[in-house]
Amino acid sequence: MQQALPKPVKFAWLFGARTDLLFFYAPILFGCLLLAGEQSMLSSSALWAIVLLNALGAGPFHQGATWLSYFDPRNRAEFNATPLKRFVFFAAPLLIFFGTIAGMMIYPLAAILIFFAWSLQHIVSQNIGILLLYHNHDSDEAVVDRRLEIRTQVMSALTFGLLFFYRAMFESAHHEILVSAPQIQLSPFTTTVVWLSYLLPLVAAIGLYTAWSIGKYFYELNCRLQEGKALNVPALMFWVYSIASLLPLAMLGKSFEEGNLIPSTVHWFQYIVINYVLVKNKSGISSVAAGGIPPIPAGSGRSTRLFFLVGLLAVVCVMGTSLAAVAAGGQPKLQQLLIGIVMGFGGVHYFLDAYLWRFREPSRRQAVLPYLLAARTKT
């Protein structure tokens, strides 16, 4: 009887084992600590609404990485290449910023729901992009069909997002489960039983389809392994994280900002290290011979120092935005204005990132991918 050959396994980290573990997984614990601190030490939910908005993309350190792209002369040349690109990179951000503030002042319910939905889409898109970077199609790696892989991530996020809204309507008789700012009334979502009767079967149907997609993913992955392809353990680890990344939103916290605090914290750390690697490798390419893009030095400790620096800046953002929230306490219009400004910066960040990281465009692919993949390790 012929014995089956053992399936090959490899550990192809994206930026190295230490960097990947520190910035893709350790922030989960950091987010748990923030959530525990919010629930045990602070009572101002308006304060934490602003804190979360910072973590979702409007914080100065996070937002600064987006603006940094404008300082690259090659990027500026691309941004000015056509009238459409000039509109996208110079006019549209201003329209989004001031439009968000106006929406927050005129109809805050619509502005907040749009921003929250966009925030979840932004987090999922970044997870999808990182997972695609893990895969090496030029090697013997077992890679599942890209459309199926993306579908599992998107449908999982949709399932957990809808579970949050169902929990919000079912468990709360007032609007605070959805958003903490007291002046924003969400009674159409929390007092109408008809919404629940429609939402429950929708959540169940999407949940079943998500489970089927995940099962199909494992089936196809096993087929690739049976063909003798190698299992890339770090890629599988990140896929599992991507599938469960928004699970806290569905199960934890008494508000959207609490439920999304853990995934948005991880998202923040991911974004910073990606931009760090991109800028570092771009700045070093001129001093290296053609084809030799320098990776992050192994064992240098820079990843660890950067991790703690980002964590420190997160704490600073918490303290700064806390003071702003306290100063605006008892003034609903001022609160709406402050939240609108933060949401406006966040919306600009989401919009610009959708173009800056659009790898299907040759110019963006050439400007980013070689520098991100330079440090990809193969063990």
pLDDT score of 146: 92
> Is 4 a member of any domain?
no
> Is 64 a member of any domain?
yes
Contact 376, 141 (CB under 8 A): no
pTM, entire model: 0.77
Task: Tell me how far apart the alpha carbons of residues 34 and 21 are, in angstroms, rounded to a whole number.
Answer: 19
> Is 37 a member of any domain?
yes
- Cα 250 from chain centroid? 16
Per the prediction, the chain carries an average pLDDT of: 75
pLDDT score of 173: 40
Domain range for 264 is 9-285+296-375
Q: What angle do CA 47, 55, 322 make, to 5 degrees?
A: 25
> Is 1 a member of any domain?
no
- pLDDT tens-digit readout, 306-332: 555 555 555 555 555 555 555 555 567
Give percent of the chain with pLDDT exceeding 70: 66
The residue whose two tokens read 């399932």 is 159
pLDDT score of 286: 44
Three-state DSSP string of 20-57: HHHHHHHHHHHHHHHHHHHHHHCCCHHHHHHHHHHHHH
Reading the chain (379 residues) residue by residue, the pLDDT tens digits are 444 545 688 888 988 888 899 889 988 888 787 777 665 544 445 445 555 545 444 454 466 566 677 777 778 888 888 899 899 888 999 999 999 999 988 888 888 888 888 888 999 999 999 999 998 766 788 899 999 999 999 999 999 988 887 777 666 544 444 444 434 344 444 444 556 667 788 888 999 999 999 999 999 999 999 988 999 999 999 999 999 888 888 887 667 777 777 888 888 888 888 888 887 787 765 443 334 334 444 444 555 555 555 555 555 555 555 555 555 555 677 777 877 877 888 888 889 888 888 888 888 888 888 888 876 655 5
Task: Tell me how far apart the alpha carbons of residues 357 and 347 are, in angstroms, rounded to a whole number.
Answer: 16
3 Cβ neighbours under 8 A, 6+ residues apart: none
Enter the tokens of residue 375: 């440090």
pLDDT score of 193: 53
- pLDDT tens-digit readout, 129-166: 999 999 876 678 889 999 999 999 999 999 998 888 77
> How many helices and strands (H and E) does the chain possess?
18, 2
- If DSSP codes are grouped into helix, strand and coil, which group holds residue 90? helix
> Is 290 a member of any domain?
no
From the list 161, 188, 163, 185, the residue with the least C-alpha distance to 175 is 185
Task: Tell me how far apart the alpha carbons of residues 115 and 101 are, in angstroms, rounded to a whole number.
Answer: 11
Residue 28 half-sphere exposure toward CB, CA atoms < 13 A: 13
pLDDT score of 144: 92
> Is 291 a member of any domain?
no
Burial 305-314 (b: 16+ CB within 10 A, else e): ebbeebbebb
* Domain count across the chain: 1
pLDDT score of 148: 95
Contact 155, 213 (CB under 8 A): yes
pLDDT score of 33: 79
Contact 104, 181 (CB under 8 A): no
pLDDT score of 234: 93
- pLDDT tens-digit readout, 200-221: 888 889 999 999 999 999 999 9
Q: Could you give the residue ranges of the DSSP H alpha helices within 42-177?
A: 45-53, 60-68, 73-79, 83-86, 92-106, 108-134, 146-171
- Beta-bridge partners for 230: 141
Task: Tell me how far apart the alpha carbons of residues 124 and 56 are, in angstroms, rounded to a whole number.
Answer: 12
Cα-flanking dihedrals φ and ψ of residue 253, to 5°?
Answer: 80, 160
